[in-house]
């Protein structure tokens, strides 16, 4: 029995935290004994306790964004770099102490800042470390951020799991290829299934017999592209009077400024009666079941987002931006429809196709479910991760 610590950067539930929970739930208990370490009380610790997973709260220092916004541009924030670098060490020491007390034999880090302080903690405690990387860093400044992250990964991680080939390419700038493994995110294909009923949620959203719901499930942050989706929906609203748009998600780790911008945009477009701001939801299988079409209009850096993986498992017709990483999941026209990131005209055209053609919606839906069952089950995801964990321990 190997004691493995999953060190997560947050206690609020987003894609990374759901992945942490799924992994802890599904590890082979004859071989692995998981402990989840996170910085505060919240939904993740509550979910762990409800599922009989050991949890420890180890507060971390406050970290700041390494870039700052000036108008529509983001530029490096050198003060944040200095502060964060200094803050990693006291956080790492606290976690290293917990690792020793809990007799941990393997560390798995989850979330960008956790890779740094969790990796440092593992080094301090002389324990092998696996970085499970589910966020592709920005390339707005060329290779600067990828090079910095890859250099740190080369020093602090024995093995790296990337949830998309686009992430693996960034790490290959500094990390030997044999230490990088691509494993797509997985979900419980029984929990997320076409057999789940969404009638309760549809009624909550004011559905009638003709309603068609287009949904976007993502944090309300600008790079997720909800403003682009609103523009596309506005162009289609008159032709499809029964269509409604549902934005599922909250700002989570960011300010509410973008959410307010989206509400103002909705009012400016005269769509208040056609757009539902559903907020953060804990009943995601039922939410997905209530939707007819799922749109994912991300502008950049998404890899294999859990919302998209869950929508595939739920057998939804998907329209997705062909962002590096996300596009890996799709055979265009078969398991979903793709469009160039940031192209509102192309997004509008793809949405119009699935709104006009119920046979196409059914075709995409059936193929999405078949693909998810074959490639995206949480069991496959966990067994592949376990293989990497074994390699980290053996080496």
Q: CB within 8 A of 41, min separation 6: which ones?
A: 11, 57
For the residues of 184-201, what is the DSSP string, one character each? ---B-TTTSSTTS--HHH
Q: Tell whether 293 is covered by a domain.
A: yes
Question: Are 154 and 249 part of one and the same domain?
Answer: no
CB 133 within 8 A of CB 171: yes
Phi, psi (5° rounding) for residue 217?
-115, 105
Q: Tell whether 357 is covered by a domain.
A: yes
pLDDT for position 139: 75
Report the SS3 class of residue 27: coil
Question: Are 160 and 135 part of one and the same domain?
Answer: yes
Question: Are 203 and 307 part of one and the same domain?
Answer: yes
Length of the chain: 395
Q: Tell whether 115 is covered by a domain.
A: yes
CA distance 278 to 17: 20
Q: How far is CA 394 from CA 6, 71, 344, 388, in A?
A: 19, 50, 49, 10
CA distance 388 to 357: 43
Question: Are 147 and 296 part of one and the same domain?
Answer: no
CA atoms within 13 A on the CB side of 104: 32
Question: Are 367 and 390 part of one and the same domain?
Answer: no
Nearest to 319 by CA among 251, 373, 267, 245: 245
CA atoms within 13 A on the CB side of 83: 11
Q: Tell whether 242 is covered by a domain.
A: yes
pLDDT along the chain (395 residues), means of 10: 96 92 97 97 96 96 66 63 80 97 98 94 98 86 85 97 94 97 96 96 93 96 95 97 96 80 97 96 96 95 89 98 92 96 97 97 97 96 98 93
CB 161 within 8 A of CB 186: no
- As to burial, measured by CB atoms within 10 angstroms (0-12 exposed, 13-18 middle, 19+ buried), residue 291 is buried
How many C-beta neighbours within 10 Å does residue 61 have? 17
Q: What is the CATH number of the domain that holds 33?
A: 3.40.50.2000
Q: Tell whether 193 is covered by a domain.
A: no
Domain that holds residue 316: 199-375
Question: Are 164 and 215 part of one and the same domain?
Answer: no
Question: Are 141 and 227 part of one and the same domain?
Answer: no
Report the SS3 class of residue 242: coil
pLDDT for position 308: 96
Question: Are 252 and 115 part of one and the same domain?
Answer: no
Question: Are 175 and 292 part of one and the same domain?
Answer: no
Q: CB within 8 A of 254, min separation 6: which ones?
A: 219, 220, 221
Question: CA geometry: angle at 153 spanning 148 and 158, to 5°?
Answer: 170
Question: Are 243 and 152 part of one and the same domain?
Answer: no
CA distance 128 to 388: 11
For the residues of 77-94, what is the DSSP string, one character each? -HHHHHHHHHHHHHHHHH
Nearest to 69 by CA among 229, 250, 255: 255
Q: Tell whether 192 is covered by a domain.
A: no
CA distance 33 to 30: 8
pLDDT for position 256: 86
Sign of the four-CA dihedral 193, 17, 329, 351: positive
Tokens matching residue 194? 């076409």
Q: Tell whether 191 is covered by a domain.
A: no
Nearest to 219 by CA among 272, 179, 259: 259
Phi, psi (5° rounding) for residue 307?
-60, -40
Question: Are 171 and 309 part of one and the same domain?
Answer: no
Category of 357 on φ-ψ map: left (φ > 0), alpha (ψ -120 to 50) or beta: beta
Residue reference for tokens 């942050």 = 221
CA distance 158 to 105: 13
Number of domains in the chain: 2
Q: How far is CA 67 from CA 16, 212, 314, 336, in A?
A: 21, 39, 36, 34
Question: Are 177 and 249 part of one and the same domain?
Answer: no
Tokens matching residue 50? 């409800």
Q: Tell whether 258 is covered by a domain.
A: yes
pLDDT for position 395: 83
């Amino acid at each position: 029995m190997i004691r493995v610590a999953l060190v997560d950067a947050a206690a609020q539930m987003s894609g990374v935290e759901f992945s942490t929970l799924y992994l802890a739930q599904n590890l082979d208990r004859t071989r692995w004994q998981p402990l989840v370490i996170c910085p505060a009380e919240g939904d993740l610790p509550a979910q762990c306790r409800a599922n009989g997973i050991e949890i420890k709260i180890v507060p971390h220092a406050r970290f700041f964004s390494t870039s700052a916004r000036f108008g529509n541009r983001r530029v490096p924030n050198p003060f944040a770099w200095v502060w964060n670098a200094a803050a990693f060490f006291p956080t790492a020491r606290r976690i290293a102490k917990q690792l020793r007390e809990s007799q941990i034999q393997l560390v798995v880090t989850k979330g960008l800042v956790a890779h740094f302080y969790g990796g440092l903690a593992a080094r301090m405690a002389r324990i092998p470390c696996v970085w499970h990387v589910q966020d592709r860093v920005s390339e707005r400044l060329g290779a600067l951020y990828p090079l910095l992250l890859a250099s740190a990964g080369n020093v602090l991680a024995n093995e790296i799991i990337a949830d998309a080939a686009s992430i693996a390419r960034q790490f290959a700038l500094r990390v030997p290829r044999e230490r990088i493994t691509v494993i797509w995110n997985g979900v419980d294909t029984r929990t997320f299934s076409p057999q789940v009923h969404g009638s309760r949620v549809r009624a909550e959203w004011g559905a009638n017999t003709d309603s068609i719901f287009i949904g976007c499930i993502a944090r309300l942050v600008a790079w997720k592209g909800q403003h682009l989706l609103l523009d596309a929906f506005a162009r289609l609203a008159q032709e499809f009077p029964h269509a409604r748009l549902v934005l599922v998600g909250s700002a989570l780790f960011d300010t509410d400024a973008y959410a307010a911008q989206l509400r103002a945009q909705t009012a400016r477009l005269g769509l208040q009666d056609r757009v539902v701001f559903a907020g953060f939801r804990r009943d995601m299988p039922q939410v997905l079941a209530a939707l007819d079409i799922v749109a994912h209009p991300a502008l950049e850096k998404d890899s294999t987002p859990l919302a998209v993986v869950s929508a595939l498992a739920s057998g939804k017709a998907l329209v997705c931006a062909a962002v590096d990483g996300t596009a890996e999941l799709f055979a265009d026209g078969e398991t979903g429809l793709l469009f160039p990131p940031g192209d509102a005209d192309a997004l509008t055209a793809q949405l119009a196709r699935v709104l006009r053609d119920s046979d196409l919606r059914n075709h995409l839906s059936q193929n999405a479910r078949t693909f998810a069952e074959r490639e995206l089950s949480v069991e496959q995801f966990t067994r592949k991760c376990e293989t990497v964990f074994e390699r980290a321990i053996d080496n």
